[in-house]
Structure 1
Amino acid sequence: MSEQAALTKQKSTAKNGRFKLAVLLSRYGMLLILIALMILISILAPTFLTSENLFNIVRQMSVVGIVAIGVTFVIITTGIDLSSGSLIALVSVVVATLAHPGQYPLIITIMAGLGVGVMTGVINGTIISKGKIAPFIVTLGMMTAARGAALLYTGGRPIGNLSDSFKFIGQGDLFGIPVPILIFLFVGVVSYLLLNNTKFGKYIYAIGGNEQAAVIAGINVDKYKIILYGYAGLLSAIAGIILTSRIASGQPTAGMMYELDAIAAAVIGGTSLAGGVGTIGGTIIGALIIGVMNNGLDLMNVSSYWQQILKGAIITIAVFVDSRKNKRK
């Protein structure tokens, strides 16, 4: 083999190596960051890496994680949902009203909460798709309206005296695993299957990739937008039920800023604001990164003000990386 051929082969091998490394980092970069973050915090705060604390992190993040999964569906289609935090509050006060001991069967309470979530999501999706109004505007309006409805419904006061069966949803364990974590895992698996193994999921990616092309291909874009916003509302309702059960009261102020944490988890996990890109696994990792960071900073007695600043910086960096990635495409 000539010297020139050997040099060309060496360059080709190096190029292939860099390409494989880039693919590896693109696919598993956030997971590696999560692992590195956990190692760093465990060194700085020895009490971090205990089973009790790790369960606590996932339990705390299960609510935001479930909302983030719904938000992922929406963002993939280049939409946004700012109403999820307020919807949590509305569902919270509705289910708390029905969850008093001996009042209604548990299934009635749960179905009422889920119904409120789906109905609110469908309203969002219908106005966005049929009215051709920007998702940001529609969900911003719903954010204000749902929060106002929760405050009006309760007169601004919390609702307590919830039944033990209802409180079990947020406070109980099954097989040694907290129920909120089991629900979070169930929602994650179902959403993964919906997004990756159904016609619905393929259409969601198609709409996000190129909505006009999806229309030409015969996809009923309006119908699927209504369904996906309804699904996001359903997941916000599940999160609201879990949160109400955990704190044992219906709070009209519940879920404050949860929509931003959910969007942050999705974007950190690789969901592109430009649409067409996003995974459930990535969003779950994004939610865990936020949860690990918050927990670690608490253990190290870092001010909550600094936590907000760091979270904002991480979101900004994630969006910057996403935009650079899209420009290269």
Structure 2
Amino acid sequence: MQSEMKIDMPAQHKKMSLKAIVRDAGIGIALLVLILIFSITTEHFLAPNNITNILTQITINLILAVGLTFVILIAGIDLSVGSVLAFACVVAGKVITIEGLDANTAIFLAVIASLLAGTLCGLLNGLISAYWGLPSFIITLGMLNIARGGALHISEAQTIYSFPEQFNDFGSASLFGIPVVFLVALLLVGIAGFVLHKTVFGRMIYGIGNNEEAVRLAGHPVFWYKVMAYTICGLMAGIAGIVYMARLNISSPIAGIGFELNAIAAVIIGGTSLMGGRGSVYGTLLGAFIIGVLANGLILLGLNDFMRQMITGVVIIVAVVLDHYREKMTTGS
């Protein structure tokens, strides 16, 4: 049975990859149309400073969405990423402001602390959800409150600031006019793409989303693959927490409120199926761009916060409806 799985999975994976390329091309066209519309209707949309702003603004959402792509591919969900970002951010903020540490040591320890905090939250999400077979919606909703409460408790509901200059400089640094934080996000997209499309682990993630029982019968440790998907998601939230600190030069216990919704929207708009098994992290990249370009363009058009929220909500609903029809076309039902 296991040898059959080894033969069938790559063929199925290649077929899904071809569909993903076609799907991503359609999403790319939608993004180009959006850019064209705002280029015509606004005066400064294509200005270099505005392009830099868009790249900077989508960075955190993109990093969170990369992690969520793994979870949604196994037909799960993680509502806690925004709160986990805040928790990791506050933990790192406490570490980086410890008196007596030199700047480089403080930065290094803060980064490690943020990564560990995010990874631990993701690991707990995965272990609890996978071991008891409980809905990830409920488990991660609980973690949303735990992480947010933890952030408020550790920080005593106070914003942490006064970070080393080297750390603050990282958040505003650019390379050839491209924000360094965005380049970090692109690197994560590339790594995630390699893992999902070129490794056994990636094939199993797709396999679990398509037919979890078949993967289990083939002798693969489904439990640990699912745990790892949530752990990766938590790790991405930890990285996003560091980027948040570096960009804004603060560590806030109320950071990340609502971030999970935008990140999930980026994944779904990018073509990853809520039913699992179909999608691409490169589509997620395009989805994050669509959300970022839409938000920026609507601001340049002078729309208020309420209208922007309404329009973004409509786009998300349309994306979910399209996902529903894609699912029906794929299954033939």
Q: Tell me how far apart the structure 1 counterparts of residues 272 and 196 of structure 2 sit (CA, whole Å).
A: 13
Q: Tell me how far apart the structure 2 counterparts of residues 196 and 26 of structure 1 sit (CA, whole Å).
A: 16
Q: Tell me how far apart the structure 2 counterparts of residues 320 and 59 of structure 1 sit (CA, whole Å).
A: 29
The equivalent position to 2:93 in structure 1, one of 85, 93, 96, is: 96
Report deviation, 1:242.
0.3
Q: Note if contact 2:126-2:231 (Cα within 8 Å) is conserved in structure 1.
A: yes
**Partner residue, 2:203:** 202
**Partner residue, 1:33:** 30
Check if 1:79 corresponds to 2:88. no
Deviations 1:92-123 (A, max 9, x none): 11111122386351211101110001111100
Q: Note if contact 1:89-1:253 (Cα within 8 Å) is conserved in structure 2.
A: yes
Between stretches 22-31 and 226-235, larger displacement belongs to 22-31
**Partner residue, 1:19:** none
Q: Tell me how far apart the structure 2 counterparts of residues 170 and 221 of structure 1 sit (CA, whole Å).
A: 38
Between stretches 164-173 and 212-221, larger displacement belongs to 164-173
Report deviation, 1:324.
1.4
Give the letter for the 1:269 counterpart.
Answer: G
Q: 1:23 to 1:226 in 2, by over 3 A?
A: closer
Q: Tell me how far apart the structure 2 counterparts of residues 166 and 66 of structure 1 sit (CA, whole Å).
A: 19
Deviations 1:205-261 (A, max 9, x none): 000001111101111011111111111101111111101111111100001100000
Q: Tell me how far apart the structure 2 counterparts of residues 102 and 239 of structure 1 sit (CA, whole Å).
A: 26
Q: CA RMSD in A?
A: 1.5
How high is the sequence identity, in percent, across the aligned residues?
A: 39
Q: Note if contact 1:65-1:262 (Cα within 8 Å) is conserved in structure 2.
A: yes
Q: Tell me how far apart the structure 2 counterparts of residues 87 and 32 of structure 1 sit (CA, whole Å).
A: 33
Q: Note if contact 1:59-1:180 (Cα within 8 Å) is conserved in structure 2.
A: yes
**Partner residue, 1:318:** 319
Check if 1:70 corresponds to 2:67. yes
Between stretches 178-187 and 254-263, larger displacement belongs to 178-187
Indicate the SS of the match to 1:210.
helix
Deviations 1:257-288 (A, max 9, x none): 00000000000000000110110110000000
Check if 1:169 corresponds to 2:179. no
Q: 1:295 to 1:102 in 2, by over 3 A?
A: farther
Number of residue pairs matched?
308
- Unmatched tracts of structure 2, length 5 or more: 1-18
**Partner residue, 1:285:** 286
TM-score of the aligned structures, taking structure 2 as reference length: 0.89
**Partner residue, 2:128:** 127
Q: Note if contact 1:102-1:163 (Cα within 8 Å) is conserved in structure 2.
A: no
Give the letter for the 2:268 counterpart.
Answer: V
Deviations 1:291-323 (A, max 9, x none): 000001111110111111111111111111111
Give the letter for the 1:116 counterpart.
Answer: A
Q: Tell me how far apart the structure 1 counterparts of residues 29 and 91 of structure 2 sit (CA, whole Å).
A: 41
Q: Note if contact 2:96-2:109 (Cα within 8 Å) is conserved in structure 1.
A: no
**Partner residue, 1:109:** 110
Report deviation, 1:24.
8.2
Give the letter for the 2:83 counterpart.
Answer: S
Give the letter for the 2:172 counterpart.
Answer: Q
Task: Report runs of 4+ in structure 1 exceeding 4 Å deviation.
Answer: 22-25
Q: Note if contact 1:99-1:166 (Cα within 8 Å) is conserved in structure 2.
A: no
Between stretches 50-59 and 256-265, larger displacement belongs to 50-59
Q: Tell me how far apart the structure 2 counterparts of residues 44 and 73 of structure 1 sit (CA, whole Å).
A: 37
